[in-house]
Structure 1
Amino acid sequence: MTLAISERAPQDVLTPAASVTTAIATVGLVREFTRKKKAPVRALRGLDLSVLEGEVHGLLGPNGAGKTTLVKILSTVLLPTQGQAMICGRDVVQHSREVRRLIGVVLGGERGLYSRLTARENLEFWGAAQKVPRAVLRDRVGQLLHRLGLESKADARVETFSRGMKQRLHLARGLIGDARVLFLDEPTMGMDPVAAHEFRTLIGELRSEQRTILLATHDMAEAEALCDRVSFVRDGAIVATRSPSAVAELVSAVRGIEFDDPNMAAIAELSALPGVRSATVTGDSVRVLVNSNQGLTRVLHFAADRGITSLHTLRPSLEDVYFQLIGDRGLEV
């Protein structure tokens, strides 16, 4: 049996310098989806977000949290029900044409690519759609294919590409209009470790070019490696915003203890210990959330008294991090 222990870390929010401008801003953003003979569904519930120019900002949250809806509104695909969203000072509703010239969208999977066209033809098509001058487009397509390691596959049909190659072509498509703001949705999904590392290096290069990147991901390690700040999204609202260093502190605070002789009856005793938030069983493991170092010490003594013979460290799940940041406060930050 495995016992994973988590601790809270203090709130950590970046305070921007006065000279730094905001690239992405939303205020009270609401999006409702109507349903026949049923109450409307609120995908976003007054979401407030501020992303600085040149920042890589992560959006972390489970499926259904509202990340995709937010990205669709920011990229002018959906209209908000209430509230306001701005890209580089332009309202996404009132100035949608200007906004589209400023942004690039990198989607995961098969969306947004034409499989029967070659990589070069895909980029030429999307460049023409974004009204990139023909004299500029040819050189830019060649540069992007080279930069993303697709030069040798430039004239191969996309249907022959691996998932990782398609992800790289997605990024090239997002950059074809020389976007100042990029929206990335699970950009390394399906890539092997080497390709994912190279891709993350490229994201660092894009940051150095003062491009703003909003990264939607489930990968905690990816967020820690790439992001200046991360925002946790739940039920259509931002529940907390943190720097990766604070997330890393949470990760390092998590310890695992493996029991040779599991005893499920111990769950009630663990839950009753002072400083223990909860103790839950998942498969053959028990996860204990604690509120303090004292609570952690009590749980370790409790485990030692039961003859634990091996110890190992575990990374927290996204749910664990939510518990650390939110506590009993619901959506209150």
Structure 2
Amino acid sequence: MLAIEADALRRTYTSRTGWLKPRRTETEAVRGVTFEVAPGELFGLLGPNGAGKTTTIKMLNTLLLPTSGTARVFGHDVARDPVAVRRRIGYVFGGDRGLYDRLSALDNLRYFAELYGVEARDQKRRIAELLDLVGLVGREKESVEGYSRGMRQRLHIARGLLHRPDVLFLDEPSIGVDPVAARDLRRTVADLSAAGTTVLLTTHYMAEADELCGRIAVIAGGRICALGTPESLKSRVRGRDVLEIEAYGVDEERLDRVRRLPGVRGASVEDRGTLQVVTVQTGRSSAELHGPVLTALDGVRIGRVTSREPSLEDAYIAIVEEAAGGPDRSATPAEAEEPAV
């Protein structure tokens, strides 16, 4: 039996605008999403903001009803049998919500253990196990308001595991967490998967997804546009080189010049502190494009220029850009797993 089955899931939001002449508008957040997750699998769901990741997760964990389509967790339909689904899942979201700051970690877990129906005789042992799992032993009697972001996220995971769920939904658990705490969180998540818990992870950190996930689905515009292992997704851009340029003052006009160069498959710019990093994906040796790219960026202060092999992040950007500029259709999982040639 599959841990998670999503079949043609759709979710449409209806809103009313105007006062004298009210008008109803519909926004389709999720448009026919289909995928499956095996028991014990660590599955990644990636996509830009507004792509439909969180809406999809909320339908799978019964917080939202699908407009159409079906979803099942270990055979239980999320719309017809939500109580059975809730008994088998845990939900951990990024951010500071969901904990009581004035209580200690221990008191938070005791409170949620009662809410989750954990037997009184099992609570002490279970809480001790989870505090050890997430590395909070020795700090459990401190008020949560004094916890760092990373400690809070580890406590969130402990809370989500109190009732021993078969499936754990992790919605951007490492958002805003420092690198050391994020590494500890990744280790905790990997340990959970190794112990047999099915994990569905959403994240904006591609290195995190590459390290943890056995398979990844990329969602854009409410549709699954690629699905496969990290290696199969990276194979989509394996024939490319990547040129990274540190710069100051890159505008959209210059970036468009770079995109129009022969041999350029994609170009993006990212702000990193006081500088920008221009990433250029090329369909030939990046050395051949050094000169033309720098010419296209004429008038911009240039720092270090390096070339490297494509990463999962490069594959992700290419997939999302193709989805934004390509035909309006949803790839089936079989189509998505085929590497682009």
TM over 0.5: yes
TM-score (norm 2): 0.79
Paired residues for 1:188-203 under 5 Å = 188-203=174-189
- Alignment match, 1:299: 289
Q: Provide the secondary structure at the position in 1 that maps to 2:45.
A: strand
User: Is 2:30–2:55's contact at 8 Å kept on the other side of the alignment?
Assistant: yes
- Alignment match, 1:323: 321
Asked which structure has the greater RCO (Cα within 8 Å, sep 6+), the reply is: 1
Deviation at 1:219, TM superposition (A): 0.5
User: Is 2:243–2:280's contact at 8 Å kept on the other side of the alignment?
Assistant: no
Q: Provide the secondary structure at the position in 2 that maps to 1:45.
A: strand
- Alignment match, 1:92: 78
Q: Provide the secondary structure at the position in 2 that maps to 1:207.
A: helix
CA–CA separation in structure 1 for the residues paired with 2:93 and 2:253: 46
CA–CA separation in structure 2 for the residues paired with 1:263 and 1:78: 40
Structure 2: gaps spanning 5 or more residues: 17-22, 332-341
Q: Please give the per-residue CA displacement for 1:108-150, whole angstroms capped at 9, x wherever unaligned.
A: 1122111122211111121111111111111101111122111
CA–CA separation in structure 2 for the residues paired with 1:40 and 1:304: 45
CA–CA separation in structure 2 for the residues paired with 1:226 and 1:94: 32
Taking a change above 3 Å as real, the CA distance of residues 32 and 297 of structure 1, as seen in their structure-2 partners, is same
User: Is 1:164–1:189's contact at 8 Å kept on the other side of the alignment?
Assistant: no
- Alignment match, 1:311: 305
- Alignment match, 2:15: 35
Query: Are residues 1:111 and 2:101 paired?
Result: no
User: Is 1:113–1:122's contact at 8 Å kept on the other side of the alignment?
Assistant: yes
CA–CA separation in structure 1 for the residues paired with 2:199 and 2:330: 26
CA–CA separation in structure 2 for the residues paired with 1:281 and 1:216: 23
- Alignment match, 1:254: 242
Query: Are residues 1:182 and 2:168 paired?
Result: yes
CA–CA separation in structure 1 for the residues paired with 2:8 and 2:44: 19
User: Is 1:114–1:122's contact at 8 Å kept on the other side of the alignment?
Assistant: yes
- Alignment match, 2:59: 73
- Alignment match, 1:55: 41
CA–CA separation in structure 2 for the residues paired with 1:301 and 1:140: 62
Which of 204, 207, 220 is equivalent to 2:193? 207
CA–CA separation in structure 2 for the residues paired with 1:219 and 1:115: 27
User: Is 2:160–2:168's contact at 8 Å kept on the other side of the alignment?
Assistant: yes
Q: Provide the secondary structure at the position in 2 that maps to 1:254.
A: strand
User: Is 1:240–1:325's contact at 8 Å kept on the other side of the alignment?
Assistant: no
- Alignment match, 1:24: 4
- Alignment match, 2:126: 140
Deviation at 1:265, TM superposition (A): 9.1
CA–CA separation in structure 2 for the residues paired with 1:92 and 1:144: 27
Q: Provide the secondary structure at the position in 1 that maps to 2:11.
A: strand
TM-score (norm 1): 0.81
Taking a change above 3 Å as real, the CA distance of residues 297 and 153 of structure 1, as seen in their structure-2 partners, is closer
Q: Provide the secondary structure at the position in 2 that maps to 1:173.
A: helix
**More off after superposition, 169-178 vs 266-275:** 266-275
User: Is 1:239–1:326's contact at 8 Å kept on the other side of the alignment?
Assistant: no
**More off after superposition, 124-133 vs 183-192:** 183-192
CA–CA separation in structure 2 for the residues paired with 1:73 and 1:267: 38
User: Is 1:224–1:248's contact at 8 Å kept on the other side of the alignment?
Assistant: no
User: Is 1:224–1:247's contact at 8 Å kept on the other side of the alignment?
Assistant: no
Taking a change above 3 Å as real, the CA distance of residues 71 and 264 of structure 1, as seen in their structure-2 partners, is closer
Cα RMSD after superposing both structures:
3.3
Q: Provide the secondary structure at the position in 1 that maps to 2:56.
A: helix
CA–CA separation in structure 2 for the residues paired with 1:84 and 1:161: 40
CA–CA separation in structure 2 for the residues paired with 1:280 and 1:165: 34
User: Is 1:60–1:216's contact at 8 Å kept on the other side of the alignment?
Assistant: yes
Query: Are residues 1:154 and 2:152 paired?
Result: no
The amino acid of 1:64's aligned partner reads G
The number of aligned residues is 311
CA–CA separation in structure 1 for the residues paired with 2:176 and 2:141: 22
Taking a change above 3 Å as real, the CA distance of residues 268 and 33 of structure 1, as seen in their structure-2 partners, is closer
Deviation at 1:299, TM superposition (A): 3.2
Q: Please give the per-residue CA displacement for 1:201-233, whole angstroms capped at 9, x wherever unaligned.
A: 121111111211110111101000110011111
Taking a change above 3 Å as real, the CA distance of residues 139 and 299 of structure 1, as seen in their structure-2 partners, is same
